[in-house]
Structure 1
Amino acid sequence: MSHESHERSFDLLGFDNVLFPVGNLEEAVSFYERAGFPVTHRIDEIGLAILKVGKETPGILLRVEEGVEHRPSAWATPRVWIEVGDARAAGRALEAAGVKALAPPSSVATGWTVEVSDPWGNVVGFTDYRKRPELARS
Structure 2
Amino acid sequence: MSLETPDLQILGFDNTLLPVGDLPEAVAFYERAGFPVKFRLDEAGIALLGVGKETPGLLLRAEEGFGHRPPSWPSARLWLEVPDARAAADRLCAAGIEPLDAPFSTSTGYVVEIADPWGNVVGFTDYLKRPELARS
Instruction: Identify the TM-score tier after normalising by the shorter chain.
Output: over 0.9
Aligned match for 1:94, one of 89, 92, 95: 92
1:51 is paired with a residue whose SS is: strand
Aligned match for 1:107, one of 105, 108, 117: 105
Residue pair 1:33, 1:39 contacting (<8 A) in 2 also: yes
Hey, what's the Cα distance between the residues in 2 that align with 1:69 and 1:132? 39
- What is aligned with 2:48? 50
- What is aligned with 1:83? 81
1:27 is paired with a residue whose SS is: helix
Hey, what's the Cα distance between the residues in 2 that align with 1:10 and 1:129? 29
- What is aligned with 1:3? none
Shift of 1:69: 1.2
2:10 is paired with a residue whose SS is: coil
Q: Give, as a single letter, the amino acid of the residue that structure 1 aligns with 2:96.
A: G
- What is aligned with 1:134? 132
Cα deviation, 1:35-79, whole Å, max 9, x if unaligned, reads: 000000100001100000000111100000122111001222211
2:92 is paired with a residue whose SS is: helix
- What is aligned with 2:18? 20
Aligned residues: 133
Scaled by the length of structure 2, the TM-score of the pair is 0.94
1:31 is paired with a residue whose SS is: helix
1:62 is paired with a residue whose SS is: strand
Q: For structure 1, which runs of at least 5 residues remain unmatched after alignment?
A: 1-5
Hey, what's the Cα distance between the residues in 1 that align with 2:14 and 2:130? 27
After superposing the two structures, state which structure 1 stretch, 108-117 or 69-78, moved more: 69-78
Cα deviation, 1:83-136, whole Å, max 9, x if unaligned, reads: 000000000000000111000000111000000000000000000000011111
Scaled by the length of structure 1, the TM-score of the pair is 0.93
Moved over 3 A (4+): none
After superposing the two structures, state which structure 1 stretch, 70-79 or 41-50, moved more: 70-79
